A and B are shown apart, each in its own frame.
Chain A
């Protein structure tokens, strides 16, 4: 295919550019594969990404030289999108090999992922330059069995924030258990009921959208999208709470106090999230301190039609919440996961008070819960004179995790 100048056409050269971009990306994967991986899941992720990249390359190669400009453009757009998206993931995988990461945490969390998500699930953890624990659940079509958990770099050695990884791993469980699909029918019913129950909000949005019939469909779609994402976030909170017990509440409070913030359509409000957490904690027999979330403020509500959509979604979410909580707890219990036991937590706490790691094989959640309890009884350990004590606490927790890991492995071969 040539242009009037006799040179290859812009379309042909554009397709060639897409192929070269993809080749450079694949070459980069090969280079990263030579890194030192403390855990092999990162290396496996590279293999998966490379496999999908090669499939995309095959698609580009099957595109005929006679293909239309529009078809070539779509191929170029898809290539750019995937290369761009997964370049970020390659960076995450590379940073996961950095020695600043607390590698001791990998094994107990990996076991958790295997137990709660799937026996084939993989875990990649990295310290990231973003001050919030986060993950990439919706973007990882090329890595569906992977949980990517990032922690903020300044906290990369802080064992006390590990419970928040429970929330992030929850996103992987949400997908693997196909909970959205499980909940959809009941959510649709709840939304239909809510629209009837809240005519003022329904009218406000319908009037703004202005077209009868279609407005209602758009309203339902917006409420459905907000509600399903809110339910996913609540599921992840409950998932982390069940596994890590009260230490999840403390880690949550550490990062998110005092609430506030701008309301997002895809998260419950600050106070709703806390209400759901407290209610679920009580169901688990955890009695959080009465003042733990007492002074929290709510997110700033959205106004006008967006605000009405969210109020409708919130009401529908509240209807589904009890069933969601039961499903969450049942899933974890069915997988043999139990919340931290009081006996083991008290035993670890007693050891930590004496500056001794636990030697009895406590679980990671029990160790972290005991760590939080000690920190809180010592007033938060934030003053200059507390620095040594605080560091010792962290080291004792890490050592306790190592001892538990050692016992698990040795006893498995005894």
Chain B
């Protein structure tokens, strides 16, 4: 069994996205900000968009994130659909921009704010769709976060 790095949960990612929004707002307002937040989000995006196991038979993003990342990519590129490679390249670019901001290159902060807002929106909608306590009447391929011993 080959082992890949551990993925970040949707909540972790949404939390990092929100924190980045708050810190970018502070940066844009000329207030103090916490650069670690950007580094953490950059790492999470890199890991979830390109798990190390995808060096194998086909490229993929962490299961459960493909649609969110694809929509984010389409919003940024106006492309009708996103190839996995393009989505991963875009997420890598965002990740690099976040790292740059973390290292003090604040000129990218303004353009990153709408990206973080869109990312957070995507994740929060996914999370809100995961009603952990009602596993009835779900569409077959929707996210189901509760785990009974049987499907309901």
Contact = CB atoms under 8 A, between A and B. Distances in A.
A241 B4 CA distance: 28
Interface string B121-152: 10010011010110000101100111111111
> Binding site of A, secondary structure by majority: helix, strand, loop or mixed?
helix
Interface residues of B, number: 61
Contact of B149 (A132, A191, A217): A132
A266 B141 CA distance: 8
B113 interface: yes
B32 to A, nearest CB: 9
Interface stretch (B23-31, B38-46, B92-100): B23-31
B15 A221 contact: no
Contact of A188 (B60, B130, B147): B60
Contacts of B2: 185-186
A340 B84 CA distance: 48
Interface in B4-51: 4-7, 9, 11-12, 14-15, 17-19, 21-23, 25-26, 29, 31, 51
A265 B143 CA distance: 10
Interface in A132-167: 132-139, 141, 164, 167
Most B CB within 10 A of own CB, among A71, A85, A232, A309: A71
B18 A75 contact: yes
B141 to A, nearest CB: 5
A185 B56 contact: yes
A224 B63 contact: yes
A135 B149 CA distance: 9
Nearest to A215: B81
A365 B60 CA distance: 41
Contacts of A62: 22-23, 26
A302 interface: yes
B148 A141 contact: no
Contact of A139 (B31, B60, B132): B132
Contact of B25 (A68, A81, A130, A182): A68
Contact of A137 (B14, B84, B141, B147): B147
Contacts of A75: 18, 21-22
B26 to A, nearest CB: 6
Interface stretch (A93-101, A103-111, A256-264, A287-295): A256-264
A63 B25 contact: yes
> Binding site of B, secondary structure by majority: helix, strand, loop or mixed?
loop
Contacts of A178: 3, 6
A255 B149 contact: yes
Contacts of B140: 263-265, 302, 306, 310
Interface string A160-178: 0000100110010000001
Interface residues of A, number: 76
B6 A181 contact: yes
A71 B113 contact: yes
A295 B121 CA distance: 48
A319 to B, nearest CB: 13
Interface in A162-221: 164, 167-168, 171, 178, 180-186, 188-189, 191-193, 211, 213-214, 217-218, 220-221
A132 B150 contact: yes
Nearest to A183: B1
Contacts of B149: 132-134, 164, 167-168, 236, 252, 255-256
Smallest CB-CB A-B distances: 6 pairs: A264-B151, A192-B57, A185-B2, A134-B148, A141-B11, A185-B53
24 contacts: A62-B22, A62-B26, A68-B117, A70-B114, A74-B117, A74-B121, A74-B124, A78-B14, A133-B149, A134-B148, A135-B148, A136-B132, A138-B130, A139-B132, A178-B3, A182-B3, A185-B1, A185-B56, A192-B56, A211-B81, A214-B81, A214-B83, A236-B149, A263-B151
Interface of B: 1-7, 9, 11-12, 14-15, 17-19, 21-23, 25-26, 29, 31, 51, 53-54, 56-58, 60-61, 63-64, 66-67, 81-84, 113-114, 117, 120-121, 124, 127-128, 130, 132-133, 138, 140-141, 144-152
Interface of A: 59, 62-64, 66-68, 70-71, 74-75, 77-78, 81, 85, 88, 130, 132-139, 141, 164, 167-168, 171, 178, 180-186, 188-189, 191-193, 211, 213-214, 217-218, 220-222, 224-226, 228-229, 232-233, 236, 252, 255-256, 261-267, 299, 302, 306, 309-310, 323, 327
